[in-house]
Structure 1
């Protein structure tokens, strides 16, 4: 039976994030469901002050993510996976920050998952997210240079608030380099328009556990042109995970892509995912 793909978005995103990938999967004969994590989607922090770029007012507005935890996101996705599983196998896939949720869900309900697929996504194994950020593999990330993006006091807001509608040319150039260096300006601005201003402060502390996460077949799609999550960090995740579960290593694929272009032009990505599912369906061992 063909699995349902449950897709988990990255930072400041929502279910619309995966529209192009879902179209490609549908054309290949697969069904998918893109979640909105709690506090995201409709009502995800947009306001008149944000629209008007009244940054003083925007910096003080309450956040829909205040009080929302990583555990809330995990519980939401577990519920989606459980319901989808009633209709057949489930493949859980995520991009970027969505990897935190993937790992926690695979730790929580490995018996409900056929496979987890990380697309240049965080996969904490030996260290915490903060330790990875402070490590040498992350040092080249262009996100280290995005001064001026944050608005307001995160501790007061209970969320990270970003002004994606900035007109600062230097900041926009840095963001394009970090997210879509191989895309057009039009693609870049269109994607920025879909991003929500607020993101959760809590990324959780879960790490991949051999006895739970390690039971689930897992795929990593390396994006070799990614200047947000550098390929060196992606490779560290893979190496550490393979050492954790040497009998169940990552199934690794590489795409020549920035952080976003594999999602905006997803034919190759959909082909990797669909091809892996074909092999799953013909091999009991996965």
Structure 2
């Protein structure tokens, strides 16, 4: 039986970011479900944001206030339980979505056939804050983004994507996309994001017994390749009998979402290993 790919988006993103990937998967006969994490899909969208009333936008309450990493995990576990009724589940995370993938795999490994990290966070020996302080985290390009308002008071990180500099973001996010591609991608991003990424580390007794794939993006200027490789090396050292299945794409951070044919091929290849129900 063919698996269903459950797709978990990165920071400020909703399931809409996977629309091109879902189209490519469908053309390969693959099923997929793109996740809107709690608060997303509407997070921060308002009349003030639409009209660029910046004073009001900076002060209005956030729909992400109070949304926690635990909420994200519970939401995805619930979806995985429902999808699992129809066959194997491959859980895929992009970027920040890796935090949720790890926690779900720790919580319900028996419901998953595989996890896939696409240039995604995979914390093994420390939290995100710990990794951010390591030499492996050195973004190659600074997009110059500044949150709107006070993140602590809003209890969320708020960005004004309507006034972002597409040229700077293009340098940080993509090597093949055009500025028009970046503008279209920005239009689908939620202004607000939760401040809580959780503190879960991979559990060798749960996460560690699942097949897991890492898709390295060698031109990623946002989540540096050195940090991606650091995650892989630490995970493989923790579960040497079950190392990452590693694939490499010579693209930037959002390129697999803008032009997803090669990523869809990789995912469809993993489906061949899960034709039986776990």
TM-score of the superposed pair, with normalisation by structure 1: 0.94
Higher alpha-carbon deviation: 262-271 or 99-108: 262-271
How many Å separate the matches in 2 of 1:263 and 1:222? 14
Deviation, structure 1 residue 77: 0.1
Give the alignment of 1:164-179 within 5 angstroms.
Answer: 164-166=161-163, 171-179=165-173
Deviation, structure 1 residue 252: 0.3
Does the C-alpha gap of structure 1 residues 148 and 255 become closer, same or farther in structure 2, counting only changes over 3 Å? closer
Aligned equivalent of 1:52: 51
Is the Cα–Cα contact under 8 Å of residues 97 and 121 in structure 1 kept in the other structure?
yes
How many Å separate the matches in 1 of 2:159 and 2:175? 20
Deviation, structure 1 residue 147: 3.8
Deviation, structure 1 residue 166: 1.1
Q: How many residues align?
A: 278
Aligned equivalent of 1:161: 158
Aligned equivalent of 2:119: 120
Aligned equivalent of 2:195: 201
How many Å separate the matches in 2 of 1:94 and 1:223? 14
How many Å separate the matches in 2 of 1:140 and 1:148? 13
Does the C-alpha gap of structure 1 residues 135 and 250 become closer, same or farther in structure 2, counting only changes over 3 Å? same
How many Å separate the matches in 2 of 1:148 and 1:85? 39
Is the Cα–Cα contact under 8 Å of residues 81 and 111 in structure 2 kept in the other structure?
yes
Gaps of 5+ in 1: none
Aligned equivalent of 1:149: 146
Aligned equivalent of 1:68: 67
TM-score of the superposed pair, with normalisation by structure 2: 0.96
Give the alignment of 1:1-286 within 5 angstroms.
Answer: 1-41=1-41, 43-142=42-141, 145-166=142-163, 171-281=165-275
How many Å separate the matches in 2 of 1:237 and 1:61? 37
Gaps of 5+ in 2: none
Is the Cα–Cα contact under 8 Å of residues 149 and 164 in structure 1 kept in the other structure?
no
Deviation, structure 1 residue 128: 0.9
Deviation, structure 1 residue 165: 1.1
